[in-house]
Amino acid sequence: MNRAMLVLSDGTFLVGEAFGARSERIGEVVFNTSITGYQEILTDPSYNGQIVVMTYTEIGNCGVNEEDMESSSGPKVEGFVVKEYSKIYSNWRATRTLEEFLKEHGIPAMSGVDTRALTAYLRRMGCQMGIISSTDLDPRSLLRKVKSHPGISALDLVRDVSSKDPYRWREGRWMWPHPPSRGLEGGRPRVVVYDFGVKLNILRSLYEAGFDVTVVGAETPAEAVLEMAPDGILLSNGPGDPKIVTYGVKNARRLIGKKPIFGICLGHQILGLAMGGHTYKLKFGHHGGNHPVKDLKTGRVEITSQNHNYCVDIASLKGQVRLTHQSLFDGSEE
């Protein structure tokens, strides 16, 4: 049995069974509470720079298919930690095992870890940097390596995952049988999406809802976007600290008041900074498919899928905005 080790920046270390690529990666260790959807989690660009711990007990049962990717260039995580890895998969769309997929893209993973105990520790102590390795099993050596890392808050992770050239998106969500697209009378309203690490399912949903979707790179000047004459602008999800993405904040500031703007995840935080507000880092982030959020207008509670480490401090916006949704887990604004 090949061994792997996870070492946290506070010196805590865990040993498990290695699968995936035989390699070593450093990232911020976060946990995800979703039961299904590990392929979407692995390929979500918002996880760039992070090692993901799954709280659900068995992972890999569904294999990997070609339709459920959130990025066209494979997984974005630095590493993957599970309690039990299923080498056998059963799904009619699957083309390979999870391990084959991880090996193909050089991602190390480990199983045999009490991921719920690790999650409880991260909740208590807060998320921290870590290193996962199947090549070096000396905890002191690994601790030195992780302590030499500046941390993801010092890195611009958006540039790693943003598209370089603009493109139009023409694909709806995968369904069987394939439904017709809901084009609107008089043509599709045009939406320009700033790609800070956009998930493909956001683009699929926009197109299926009847929009003409154009995607532009994260550093595209605001003036170039306005020349496209969009009906609306979407600031996408993405990885890392929004304060590092100064070019995104600068362009968002130039667009405010000129077109309707909607922000998701990192895009929401960038919009808050562009309005003069502040952002702060959550103790252990929101990562999972079971987050209850209250609509403050209707009083209804919605169960949401979330993946973000930062929030906008609504109080810092000095009455410029109205809070509409609030997390029932920790009271943070959504």
In a domain, 164, yes or no: yes
Neighbours of 81 (CB within 10 A): 26
The dihedral region occupied by 180, where left means phi > 0, alpha psi between -120 and 50, and beta the remainder, is beta
Are 201 and 117 in the same domain? no
Give the pair of three-digit tokens for residue 185.
Answer: 């009378």
Burial class (CB in 10 A: 0-12, 13-18, 19+), 105: middle
- Residue ending a domain, choose from 132, 151, 170: 151
SS3 of 224, please?
Answer: helix
Measured in whole angstroms, the distance separating CA 321 from the mean position of its chain's CA atoms is: 25
The number of domains in the chain is 2
177 and 83 together in one domain: no
**Structure confidence at residue 319 (pLDDT):** 82
Residue 204 lies in a domain: yes
332 inside domain: no
Query: What percent of the chain shows pLDDT beyond 70?
Result: 96
- Full domain range(s) for residue 108: 3-151
Give me the CATH number covering residue 187. Answer: 3.40.50.880
Helix (H) or strand (E) holding 201: helix 200-208
Same domain, 93 and 221: no
Residue 277 domain-assigned? yes
Same domain, 281 and 162: yes
CB 61 within 8 A of CB 145: no
Evaluate whether residue 128 is within a structural domain: yes
Q: What is the pLDDT of residues 24-47, one digit of tens each?
A: 999 999 999 999 999 999 999 999
- Give CA–CA dist 194/267, Å, rounded: 8
User: Taking the model in full, what pTM does it have?
Assistant: 0.93
| Beta-carbon count within 10 A of 140 CB | 9
Residue 4, by phi and psi: left (phi above 0), alpha (psi -120 to 50) or beta? Answer: beta
Which residue type is seen at 330? D
pLDDT tens digits, residue range 213-245?
A: 999 999 999 999 999 999 999 999 999 999 999
Q: How far apart are CA 20 and CA 102, in angstroms?
A: 5
Asked which of 151, 169, 199 is the last residue of a domain, the reply is: 151
Tell me the mean pLDDT in the region 96-104: 98
Question: Do 167 and 216 touch, CB atoms closer than 8 A?
Answer: no
In a domain, 31, yes or no: yes
Q: Find tokens 């003036």 and name the residue.
A: 223
- Among residues 121, 151, 181, the one where a domain terminates is 151
**148 has a pLDDT exceeding 80:** yes
334 found inside a domain: no
Strand stretches in the chain, DSSP E: 3-8, 13-20, 24-32, 50-54, 58-59, 79-81, 84-85, 108-111, 128-133, 167-169, 190-195, 212-217, 232-235, 261-263, 278-295, 301-313, 325-327
Q: Are 50 and 78 in contact (CB under 8 A)?
A: yes
Considering the domain architecture, whether residues 249 and 302 belong to the same structural domain is answered as: yes
Query: pLDDT-derived band of residue 269, with 50, 70 and 90 as boundaries?
Result: very high
